[in-house]
Amino acid sequence: MDTRQMKELIVEQKHEFEREKPIIRRQKIEKIDSLSKIPHIVLITGLRRAGKSTLLKEIKKQYYPEESVYYMNFEDERLLDFNVSDFNTLYESFLEVSKESRIFFFDEIQNISNWEAFVRRMYDRGFKFYITGSNSSLMSRELGTKLTGRHVKFELYPFSFKELIASQGIETGKEFYLTEERARIKKEFVQYLENGGIPEYHIYRNKDIIRNLYDNILYKDIIVRYGIKDEAAIRSLANYIITNPATEISYNRLKNVLNIGSQTTVKNYIDHLENSYLIFTINAFDYSLKKQMYSKKKVYVIDTGLMNILAFKFSRDIGKMLENIVFLELKNREHDVYYHAGKNECDFIIMEKQSITKAIQVTQILQESNERREVGGLMEAMDRYKLQEGLILTEDTEDVFEKGGRKIIVMPIWKWLLE
């Protein structure tokens, strides 16, 4: 790559990176406190446009305010011809146009093949790296070859409800909220259910932002990257899942419903969608890993705002959207999540340190017509995993009662999200 152009790019990107913008504080910044003190490579993965670049700015401002850093965003179209052999030229250019630094900030590095070779070499020389990427599988594969044991990884999701509420100066984590606070929080929660937490859409409320993001992910991150020939098939699969969140799926049924070639093709497409962070799948819990693998999966979508804009349907299932929000929060809290499938179903089973510790049921409203199903599914899971307490999350009901000698807590989702 031309050295002069490289230098111009460095200066231009540095100016943009250091430009002051209002920032909503991310909960994940708290993890950086300990990670900034160790030499390990810090890898931040997540959906395109979920705020990874902004988090890098927040890290720079909080932990390296007086230091120079080497920043490069590899999503820049002027780097289309950049390859691993250009990294040394990039480093030389940094030395010429920037103050000397021992810290690299690399954005969307999955666009460069074999990037880990340069990172490993410089890491061994004592340089610190903060790296972002938008493909879970690709990043894991490359890290596993040359950087095993030298990196720490975490995922960044769109804004959580707690992050948005905290940004408005509302105290969170309280056991009791005043009437005015409850009213304001509940109003904001309705907006969150409708609009989700993708940062740019949160700011500008332009639906084309979501549509363009979706098209970029499907085309750049999936169709082009994996050389998919049947573009219509993967688009129809993605649209089907976005329209039907929080539901069980089977590869065979999807193959037949969408007229896709084979179960293997459906599985590969779902893997691609999941690696790009558009969707997530979870297994029905079983102590047999083999049974887990062959059980039906439940599927969730990265953002409710994205669902509301892109889904093809005439009426929204609020219960499924609420369940989707609870799932995303469980992922954000870094829980190991499953669902329970027996005679009845329980929406979420949480495993910690090889033990099941929580059972959670989600429903829009708990009333006489559905109490037997919702409480029955929760109690079945509590019985199976020997839990003394269960949680039912609803749109706005709060209660505590005992059944069969066990405690069941009923809590509004908005309040649980603010814990």
Nearest CA among 217, 357, 368 for reference residue 279: 217
**Using CA atoms, how far apart are residues 303 and 325, in angstroms rounded to an integer?**
8
> Would you state the pLDDT for residue 315?
62
Look up the CATH architecture of domain 196-316: Orthogonal Bundle (1.10)
Paired tokens of 15: 């100016």
Taking only the tens of pLDDT, the chain with its 419 residues reads 789 999 999 999 999 999 988 889 999 999 999 999 999 999 999 999 999 999 999 999 999 999 999 999 999 999 999 999 999 999 999 999 999 999 999 999 988 999 999 999 999 999 999 999 998 877 777 676 778 889 999 899 999 999 999 999 999 989 889 999 999 999 999 999 999 999 999 999 999 999 999 999 999 999 999 999 999 999 999 999 999 999 999 999 999 999 999 999 999 999 999 999 999 999 999 999 888 888 899 999 999 999 999 998 756 799 999 999 999 999 999 999 999 999 999 999 999 999 999 999 999 999 999 999 999 999 999 999 999 999 999 999 999 999 999 999 999 999 999 99
Judging by beta carbons within 10 Å of its beta carbon (0-12, 13-18, 19+), is residue 72 exposed, middle or buried? buried
Look up the CATH architecture of domain 317-419: 3-Layer(aba) Sandwich (3.40)
Nearest CA among 145, 109, 101, 144 for reference residue 126: 101
Helix (H) or strand (E) holding 298: strand 297-301
Contacts of 105 (CB under 8 A, 6+ apart): 17, 56, 59, 60, 69, 70, 71, 72, 129, 130, 131
Q: Do domains 196-316 and 317-419 have the same CATH topology?
A: no
Lookup result for tokens 């990257």: 225
Q: 3-156: what fold? A: Rossmann fold (3.40.50)
DSSP state of 160: P
3-state secondary structure of 336: strand
> Would you state the pLDDT for residue 385?
97
Q: Where are the beta strands (DSSP E) in 32-174?
A: 41-45, 70-73, 103-107, 128-133, 151-155
**CB hemisphere CA count around 277 (13 angstroms):** 24
Domain boundaries, the chain: 3-156, 196-316, 317-419
Paired tokens of 105: 């900030």
What is the spatial order of strands in the sheet that 389-394 belongs to? Answer: 336-341, 345-352, 355-362, 389-394, 406-412, 399-403
